[in-house]
Amino acid sequence: MGHADRVVQRQAGVGKRTVWISILTLLSRILGLVREVISAALFGDASKVYDAFLFAWRIPNLFRRFLGEGALATSLQTALTAEDSTNGDQAGGALFGATFALLASLLAALSTVVILGIWLMPDRMPGTEFLWLGSEPQVVRELTIRLMPFVVFVCLTAAAGGALNVRGHYTMPAIGPVLLNGVWIGALLLIRWSAGNDPSVSLEAQLPLVRWLAGGVLMAGLVQLVVLLPAMRSCGLWGSSVPILRHSSAAWAGARGVLKRSLPLALGAAVYQVNVMIDGMMAQGLLPDGGQTVHYLANRVQQFPLALVAVAATTAVFPALAALGQQRRLEDLRGLHDRTQRNVLFVALPATFGLAALALPVTSALFEHGNFEAQGIERMANALRILAFAILPAGAVGLVARTYYSMGDFKTPVRMSCSMLLANVGLNFLFLRWLGMDADGLALATTLSSFGNLFLLLPGLKRRLGLPPALPGFPLAFTKMLIAAGLCGLAANLVSQVKLPGLAHSLHLLLAIGAGVGAYVLGSMLLKVPECAHFAPRIHRVSAKFRRK
């Protein structure tokens, strides 16, 4: 078996892998929501210090998306796939080792530069009265300095996880975020215990708590990286066969190429997260106290279905896309892209309508505890209701952009992303400054720019592939899915409005979710949505097992 055939064979079984990654992603997202629920109850919906922590956290988290999980991982996966296909696993291991070493040094330098930049940044944007660090700039600076080293751990983790995916290892990279959230939750529980479960909302009382929280975040990032080392060793990416600093000139040249390609690619790969970062900066400077918190938490809830459906599918199929693009098997590439998009659409549409219909009861059930009050719930629900409609375009853009990358086109997604980034900034100012909107204005700008990015990318992809759709009849199938998703949202909303005495709020919410899911499945079956047929055999098998029991 040749090198190229071995690379393609490693990516067999995309469907099963997607399910497994989705399960681990679901667990990670559940733990992530638990961590946010604990934080919200601890610090409340109008805390200046927690606003400052979230803004400071957005900065390393942006670089995590910007470099680690977006541009860098994509560039490394593309280069490693090509190297494994052409020269074999040993050459690929050398390329990864050189990239890892070069990346570690650059990330350390980047962290230092950002820390100095934040420390020297004026409180107000030059030439304006805009408080871009918010009302507590010194707290933002201190927390950013404490959190910035997280970038080193998380970007190295993302690079290692991307390389493991190319080598056919998916379990440990997917477990990493689960461990990160677990350590973070442990730190929060310790802080809550030390604070006596009822901390004051004053800045002086909460600042020591978030300092300890920043330390817990750094520990979580380190744990996430360390757990990947055994898997890296087993597949030839780490150890005596891949010395970190002793590589050929070709390996170092390849590593520099990976990083060079990742720089222009970064904005295109992480445009959605860049938009969220800009939203966060404007929330910090333009919204009342708690605006940063409610906007951040609304995004976190919206990211739950987005990551579970679209991000998991994109992560699973990209190595296969890269391998097919490397071999110029455009027909197979189009088929894999189309199947994945339609399967994602089949799940993303009911998630969108269901989340929009249940925004208020979902936010109330999750966050109306402790110091988090009803006013904050209302603000968050308004933003979440709009962000629900960004699930579809944000997920689709990720897959479309990766398909461009698999064919070697890194420029087009970047150009489109830059235009939408500017549009997002303009929309933010329009909705917040001139229309007086709250966090829902930021959500609306993000949603509109996400749709714009998708509509700009799709025509170019069709031209480059030059093939008819692999799965014809998409307009009719989409219409049927849309009708079924509308029934999902309607059923969920009707059930949520019914007042059932004696039923706990959380159980009432689960009943509404169940009604929405049931309406979508029934509607899809009656309308004969093609994707529904893929799930029917699995449902029958599960039902048969229960009947036998």
pLDDT in tens, 153-172: 988 888 888 888 777 777 78
Quote the tokens at residue 184. 């973070």
Packing angle of the helix pair 474-497, 330-357 (nearest 10 deg): 20
Indicate the DSSP class of residue 528. Answer: T
How much is the mean pLDDT over the chain?
A: 80
Give me the sign of the Cα torsion angle 134, 139, 144, 150: negative
Rg (CA), the chain: 23
Answer yes or no: do 441 and 418 share one domain. Answer: yes
Say how many domains are in the chain.
2
CA angle 353-446-143, nearest 5°?
115
pTM recorded for the entire structure? 0.76
Domain interval for residue 504: 478-543
Digit-coded pLDDT (tens) for 278-299 = 787 788 878 888 888 999 899 8
Answer yes or no: is 20 within a domain. Answer: yes
Highest mean pLDDT among 125-134, 484-493, 538-547: 484-493
Answer yes or no: do 395 and 530 share one domain. Answer: no
Highest mean pLDDT among 14-18, 46-50, 249-253, 258-262: 46-50
Q: Which of 194, 198, 197, 202 is nearest to 49 (CA)?
A: 202
Answer yes or no: do 383 and 529 share one domain. Answer: no
Would the pLDDT of 483 be above 90? Answer: yes
Do 141 and 119 contact (CB within 8 A), yes or no?
yes
Do 27 and 178 contact (CB within 8 A), yes or no?
yes
Residue 157 or residue 262, greater confidence: 157
Answer yes or no: do 387 and 525 share one domain. Answer: no
What residues contact residue 490 under an 8 Å CB cut-off, 6+ apart? 357, 519
Instruction: Please tell me the distance from the alpha carbon of residue 1 to that of residue 88, in angstroms, as a whole number.
Output: 11
Instruction: Please tell me the distance from the alpha carbon of residue 114 to that of residue 535, in angstroms, as a whole number.
Output: 48
Of 423, 439, 472, the last residue of a domain is 472
Instruction: Please tell me the distance from the alpha carbon of residue 95 to that of residue 165, in angstroms, as a whole number.
Output: 15
Digit-coded pLDDT (tens) for 366-416 = 998 888 888 899 999 999 999 999 999 988 888 888 888 888 887 888 788
Show the DSSP H helices in 197-248 as ranges. 203-226, 229-234
Residue 412 or residue 3, greater confidence: 412
Digit-coded pLDDT (tens) for 177-209 = 899 999 999 999 988 887 765 555 455 678 888
Answer yes or no: do 527 and 408 share one domain. Answer: no
Answer yes or no: do 114 and 213 share one domain. Answer: yes
Answer yes or no: do 326 and 289 share one domain. Answer: yes
Answer yes or no: is 549 within a domain. Answer: no
Answer yes or no: do 188 and 205 share one domain. Answer: yes
Answer yes or no: is 548 within a domain. Answer: no
CA angle 430-435-437, nearest 5°?
100
Answer yes or no: is 364 within a domain. Answer: yes
- Percent over 70 (pLDDT), the chain: 82
Of 472, 495, 526, the last residue of a domain is 472
Of 472, 493, 509, the last residue of a domain is 472
Instruction: Please tell me the distance from the alpha carbon of residue 100 to that of residue 82, in angstroms, as a whole number.
Output: 17
Q: Which residues is 239 bridged to in the sheet? A: 242
Answer yes or no: is 55 within a domain. Answer: yes
Phi, psi for residue 239 in degrees, rounded to 5: 120, -165
Cβ burial, residue 379 (10 Å; 0-12/13-18/19+): buried
Answer yes or no: do 392 and 463 share one domain. Answer: yes
Answer yes or no: is 151 within a domain. Answer: yes
Residue 138 or residue 388, greater confidence: 388
Where does residue 198 fall: left (phi above 0), alpha (psi -120 to 50 degrees), or beta otherwise? beta
Q: Which of 260, 278, 259 is nearest to 270 (CA)?
A: 278
Digit-coded pLDDT (tens) for 18-65 = 566 667 777 887 898 899 999 988 888 878 888 889 888 888 877 776
CA distances from residue 452 to 37, 386, 504 in whole angstroms, order as listed: 32, 15, 41
Answer yes or no: is 36 within a domain. Answer: yes
Answer yes or no: do 465 and 492 share one domain. Answer: no
Answer yes or no: do 448 and 487 share one domain. Answer: no
Cβ burial, residue 246 (10 Å; 0-12/13-18/19+): exposed
Would the pLDDT of 74 be above 90? Answer: no
Where does residue 2 fall: left (phi above 0), alpha (psi -120 to 50 degrees), or beta otherwise? beta
Quote the tokens at residue 90. 């040993």
Would the pLDDT of 489 be above 90? Answer: yes
Answer yes or no: is 539 within a domain. Answer: yes
Answer yes or no: do 399 and 519 share one domain. Answer: no
What residues contact residue 129 under an 8 Å CB cut-off, 6+ apart? none
